[in-house]
Structure 1
Amino acid sequence: MLQGPAMQFPYMPSPKKLVFGYDPDEFEEFVKEWVPALQSEYVRVERQGGSGDHGIDVAAYRSAQGLEGPWDNYQCKRYKSALNWSTAAGEIRKMFVGVVLGHFVLPTQYVFVAPAFARNLRTALAKPAQTRTKFLEELAETSDEVVTRLTADQQQEVTQLAKQTDFSMFVPVDMDLMLEQHKTTPHWATRFPDEQRERPAVMLPPDDHNPEEAQYVQQLIRVYAERWKADADTLELIAQHPTAGAHMRRQREAFYSAESLKRFARDAYPDGHFNAVMDDVHAHAVEVADKRFELGWDRLQAVLEAAGVVALTETVLTRYVRPLDRKGVCHHLANDGRLKWCEEGGAA
């Protein structure tokens, strides 16, 4: 198959560069979109960042009990420089204080989310037991108001809680991995410019008709029987007919071309993109189909011709739609009962 040169599109910053440019609020929203891609068992994900958040930016709940049951905390840090140990330790102190004051139970996992991590923080998070010791030493000497404003008993509770906590619960997340996982969410297509993808080869129709083809093929049989009567009223006779046989082969090729587009859209983009193409074609084709035609053959040919010039709504899928897909979409619409070629009571 001959292919032309790759399509050219204006330069757009990479998703990573776009994320690096987010302000703190937008970064938290991005994290909220990403978190559901990690755990299918999360029953709810909430963004709580802001004043009085007690150290919670995005909370992911594993049960209906919310902050009173198992949950994960995603701490978002969008700074000009890499997130370091000093800043992270302050957030950890805030989290322990929140537990002691009864704002929430200790999270199952505490995830630091940042565009970049300083080496001292990566090293600390890779050695949880050693880091807990370091944290406790710093806690005893801290002047952080989140701790010093507590009563002596509460400060002791914070220390005891830290001693009992497995610091392997504190983990960093890699930005490249975040982006790959975010790509699986419905938000990717609306947040980032779409990258040029390679559409798989078009499917070829199998020799034997599949059951999922039944309805549009039956409509074609009616078209041929109406035009050529008994000379083309079964699949066997159609295959031998000089015109109907070749026409049927072309229509099946179109159907499978559109089926290839449908599967490509399903795998590459959020739900609804192929259906948007179907709806665009249908909105125009149904008006053509409603006109008066002597034969179903005439109606079919008019609709196929009209489908070739339909202006499709601009979506990330539109650039991949080929002329043969448009004809195939007409047969998908016929397969779904949304288009009919022959008048009721015509030849069967």
Structure 2
Amino acid sequence: MNEDSFKELTPNPQKGLYNSEHVISGIPIPKTKRIQLFNSDEWEEFTEEWASSLQGSYHRLRRYAGAGDQGLDVVGFIESTQFSDGWDNYQCKFYDHPLTPSDVWVEFGKIIYFSYQGSYPPPRKYYFVAPKQVGTKLGRLLANSQKLKDSLQENWKKYCESDITSTMKVKLEGDLLAYFDNFDFTIFDTVSLVEMIEQHVSTPFHVTRFGGGLGPRPAPEIPPKDTISLDHRYVRQLLSVYAQSIGEPQRSVDLSLLDKDPGIKKKFQRQRERFYHAESLRNFSRDTVPPGVFEELQNDIFDGVVDVCESQYETDIDRLATTLTQAAKVSVEASPLASVTRVRDKQGMCHQLVNDEKLDWSNEDD
């Protein structure tokens, strides 16, 4: 071996490949590749999240969790919760390799046997879902129903006969064989990772699972002035606060108070707008982040203002003003909603907390 057998190390990254985000987080891993790195628990979580995106396509979507699954996994009921009204099955499998026929022969067998037995009618469609996707051999069988049927019949004794149920051997003969011969093998198919990701985008779990940031938040609704309701606790308490500020009896306040002082009316409308901002953030969170994220943010606001709110003040309007000022200072950087949370949202959450009887603007209410 001589020097000619070696060459200099000359890394030559593609021009324009890197940007500032790569310096912080590294080069992004494609979503399909990331899914293939999931462990079994992460795959289970992801399939639950993904399945929720299918809700709009079905009357009801359920995951079978009982013992002896009879070949069922994620089941989409088409017209009702009855199998007889049509259903689809999504068989989610976790392997460290692309699915092969030997991995799933028994799954074909279960659907055929248990539908033959009358446990349920055959599904409209039956999909295999796996992190490493479907291997070439299985993919070819799924694309050729006759070849799939012939291959399953050849492999029935080895993979299905003793494994469909633990109570007996299921021999492919007699009436079952006749049923098998007439079974529609075109129902079997697969869902690719690209399809799963496209569907997962519509769930509130996508950004926290894959990153990429929250999309633009719709402009909050401006509350109509003629829709003020005393059913809201925060409204009653605000009116009590403002009544105290102009020397009105606090226990007899009603909406007519707003016409007695233009300054009060303006302040009251500003507080309602803050409340509506927080409500719009709550609604936005339902579509973009997992359940509980907004409530955790609201808890952070509560923890940041409760001691200030419960301090002693000469007037309730001082309590209101000081608490809202404190709310504006509360850091929300730990929340997945941080990038879309504004000062008005944080202050509006205080009114939500009053509605929930966790804070009080006035001791004269209720």
Cα deviations by residue, 1:107-161 (Å, 9 ceiling, x for unpaired): 63532113545677556535xxxx4432344456669843699999925467545
1:284 aligned partner = 304
The answer to whether the 8 A contact 1:58-1:73 is kept is: yes
Q: 1:217 aligns with which of 235, 251, 259?
A: 235
Q: 1:22 aligns with which of 38, 55, 68?
A: 38
1:46 is paired with a residue whose SS is coil
The one-letter code matched in structure 2 to 1:202 is P
User: Percent identity at matched positions?
Assistant: 29
- Measure how far apart 1:199 and its partner are: 0.9
- Measure how far apart 1:188 and its partner are: 4.9
- 1:147-158 alignment to 2 at 5 Å? 154-156=171-173
- 1:177-326 alignment to 2 at 5 Å? 177-182=195-200, 188=206, 191-193=209-211, 195-211=213-229, 214-230=232-248, 235-236=255-256, 238-239=258-259, 241-312=261-332, 314-326=334-346
The one-letter code matched in structure 2 to 1:45 is Y
2:38 is paired with a residue whose SS is coil
Decide whether aligned partners of structure 1 residues 228 and 60 sit closer, same or farther in structure 2, where only a CA change above 3 A counts.
same
The answer to whether the 8 A contact 2:40-2:94 is kept is: yes
The one-letter code matched in structure 2 to 1:301 is A
- Measure how far apart 1:245 and its partner are: 2.9
The one-letter code matched in structure 1 to 2:364 is E
- Measure how far apart 1:310 and its partner are: 2.1
1:167 aligned partner = 185
The one-letter code matched in structure 2 to 1:110 is Y
Q: Which moved more, 1:300-309 or 1:238-247?
A: 238-247
The one-letter code matched in structure 1 to 2:315 is L
Cα deviations by residue, 1:151-207 (Å, 9 ceiling, x for unpaired): 999254675453132113312113233234445667656644363321111221212
Cα deviations by residue, 1:61-93 (Å, 9 ceiling, x for unpaired): 9799x9xxx994605265656x5xxx3376236
Matched residues in 1 for 2:272 and 2:69: separation?
61
Matched residues in 2 for 1:213 and 1:285: separation?
24
Decide whether aligned partners of structure 1 residues 202 and 212 sit closer, same or farther in structure 2, where only a CA change above 3 A counts.
farther
Alignment TM-score, normalising by the size of structure 2: 0.68
Would you say 1:146 and 2:162 are equivalent positions? no
The answer to whether the 8 A contact 1:254-1:325 is kept is: yes
- 1:51-70 alignment to 2 at 5 Å? 58=73, 60=75
Matched pairs, number? 325
Decide whether aligned partners of structure 1 residues 103 and 117 sit closer, same or farther in structure 2, where only a CA change above 3 A counts.
same
2:64 aligned partner = 45
The answer to whether the 8 A contact 2:204-2:286 is kept is: no
Matched residues in 2 for 1:188 and 1:177: separation?
14
Matched residues in 2 for 1:29 and 1:163: separation?
37
Matched residues in 2 for 1:190 and 1:196: separation?
9
Decide whether aligned partners of structure 1 residues 14 and 298 sit closer, same or farther in structure 2, where only a CA change above 3 A counts.
farther
Give the unaligned 5+ runs of structure 2: 1-20
CA RMSD of aligned residues (A): 4.6
2:91 aligned partner = 74
2:348 aligned partner = 328
Cα deviations by residue, 1:42-72 (Å, 9 ceiling, x for unpaired): 5543399xxxx999694659799x9xxx994
Q: 1:114 aligns with which of 117, 124, 130?
A: 130
2:357 aligned partner = 337
Matched residues in 1 for 2:339 and 2:170: separation?
65
Matched residues in 1 for 2:60 and 2:193: separation?
23
Matched residues in 1 for 2:169 and 2:247: separation?
97
1:5 aligned partner = none
Matched residues in 1 for 2:219 and 2:136: separation?
45
The one-letter code matched in structure 2 to 1:218 is R
The answer to whether the 8 A contact 2:90-2:127 is kept is: yes
The answer to whether the 8 A contact 2:128-2:189 is kept is: yes
- Measure how far apart 1:20 and its partner are: 2.5
Q: Which moved more, 1:194-203 or 1:326-335?
A: 194-203
Give the unaligned 5+ runs of structure 1: 1-7
